[in-house]
Chains A and B, each alone.
Chain A
Amino acid sequence: MANEVYAPLAGKIVKVSVEVGQQVEEDDEAMVIEAMKMETPVYLEFSGTVKEIRVKEGQQVEEEDVLAIVE
């Protein structure tokens, strides 16, 4: 089953912590978003394999944008 990783808040992606094909666990850090001059790690809600990453470091994202897909 494919699960979408959403941006919990708007900001700039400063770090992508996972790679396509990587095995990930729930609560792993997937990305780091910078907003209001503060870095906020985004943690995964589910375990699986990273199938797709839709953002790059430095990219601006809006709240609820899909950041990655985990299967």
Chain B
Amino acid sequence: MNESMFALVDSLGFLSLTPGMLVMWIIGFTLIFLAIAKEYEPLLLLPIGFGILLANLPMTHLMEPGEGLIWRFYHYGIEWEVIPPLIFLGLGALTDFGPLLAQPRLIFLGAAAQAGVYITFFVAWAIGFDLQEAATIGIIGGADGPTTIFLASNLAPHLLASCAVAAYSYMAMVPIIQPPIMKLLTSEKERKIKMKRGRKVGRKEKMLFPIVSAVVILLIVPASAPLIAMFMLGNLFREAKVVERLSGAAQNELMNIVTIFLGVSIGATMTADSFLKKEALFIFFLGLFAFMISTATGVLLAKLMNLFTKNKINPLIGAAGVSAVPMAARVAHKVGAEADKKNYLLMFAMGPNIAGVIGTVIAAGIFLMLLK
């Protein structure tokens, strides 16, 4: 009788709670609060926040390898690299390459904004992270969630949770982090620059673009294949105009379904003993650093290009080269409209923004090629 009482008491979760778990609860509740009350990236932060809470309830075995429910989501979805490419399929279907094709020179701004990724890679390496970890931390500067997760699961799975949460948090904070840097680096006059419209982009061109760029990019950086292949397929669905159903499914139903599994599994990897370490703090600082550098280099390259070109670029759109789509483009637009309310930068900013997504994937592919 006594023994079974003890067994019953032992099987209660309470007694196995640790202070670390309670700290993680607070983090989980904070993300849930930010998602609901502030609507910061709610589609991701809500399931991530709840996942964190679940992972820090003792004895549920939800993340038990080989048996736990959420472990299965994580294992087959993320470790098997299924979910990030499926998200890219949806992103491809959502992306209109028109603004980029209309002014192809804007692609350089998307490339320049990857500088933060590489600079942070060296900084992280210099302060003692190994090469694989440093690459994973650097990629946060691209502000691209699925790419960060993809690279982390390949190079440094133990950092996956912290890097993913850092990447998504900074994406949510784009409107807070970027404007001060953008204003610091530009003059009022530059912010008022009204850009000339690019040329009209035809349907055939838009249709050929995903095919041609898939071939070219994959021949150069084959390691970026899972993401680029799905991205361009999604875009082809969109531009072909004959498979509206597939295009719609990729950007709505499928994207929503995988987002659920992605969020809850990422959250559930954040157990107290894996997350409450000083590395996590470093990752958050380095990620922020990467992101700020990327913002600055995008703006600075635009200014540099203006020295050589007659058709001026508003340097604000350089900041949209970080790949948070379309938040970074919206921020460029808003900062431009503050300087002159009749300055409509949104569509121009989409050019570097889309180029930034591809730039970040290529950066990840290069890291994979060199470091895996």
Whether the Cβ atoms of B197 and A36 lie closer than 8 Å is: no
Could you say which of B341, B342, B347 contacts A10, with CB atoms under 8 Å apart?
A: B347
A9 within 8 A of B: yes
15 extra interchain contacts, Cβ-Cβ under 8 A, other than A9-B346, A36-B326, A41-B341?
Answer: A8-B344, A9-B344, A10-B347, A35-B346, A36-B330, A36-B350, A37-B326, A38-B326, A38-B333, A38-B346, A40-B333, A43-B341, A43-B342, A63-B197, A64-B197
- Please list 10 pairs of residues, one from A and one from B, whose beta carbons are closer than 8 Å in the complex, sorted by A's number: A8-B344, A9-B344, A27-B342, A36-B329, A36-B350, A41-B341, A43-B341, A45-B342, A63-B347, A64-B197
Could you say which of A27, A35, A37 contacts B347, with CB atoms under 8 Å apart?
A: A35
* Residue on A nearest B334 in the bound complex, by CB: A38
Whether the Cβ atoms of B326 and A40 lie closer than 8 Å is: no
Whether the Cβ atoms of B341 and A40 lie closer than 8 Å is: no
Which residues between 272 and 311 of chain B lie within 8 Å of chain A, taking CB atoms? none
Chain A neighbourhood of B346, CB < 8 A: 9, 35-36, 38, 40
* Residue on A nearest B340 in the bound complex, by CB: A43
* Residue on B nearest A37 in the bound complex, by CB: B326
Q: How far is the CB of A46 from chain B (nearest CB, A)?
A: 12
* Chain A interface residues (CB < 8 Å from chain B): 8-10, 27, 35-38, 40-41, 43, 45, 63-64
- CA of A70 to CA of B180, assembled, Å: 38
Chain B neighbourhood of A43, CB < 8 A: 341-342
Chain A neighbourhood of B330, CB < 8 A: 36, 38
Chain A neighbourhood of B350, CB < 8 A: 36
Chain B neighbourhood of A38, CB < 8 A: 326, 330, 333, 346
- CA of A36 to CA of B347, assembled, Å: 9
* Residue on B nearest A29 in the bound complex, by CB: B341
Q: How far is the CB of A17 from chain B (nearest CB, A)?
A: 14
* Residue on A nearest B194 in the bound complex, by CB: A8
Chain A neighbourhood of B341, CB < 8 A: 27, 41, 43
Give the interface centre of B329, B337, B347, B350 by most chain A CB atoms within 10 Å.
B347
Q: How far is the CB of A25 from chain B (nearest CB, A)?
A: 13
Chain A neighbourhood of B347, CB < 8 A: 9-10, 35, 63
A-B pairs, 8 with minimum CB distance: A8-B344, A36-B326, A9-B347, A38-B330, A43-B342, A9-B344, A9-B346, A43-B341
* Residue on A nearest B330 in the bound complex, by CB: A38
Chain A neighbourhood of B329, CB < 8 A: 36
- CA of A7 to CA of B329, assembled, Å: 18
- CA of A38 to CA of B334, assembled, Å: 10
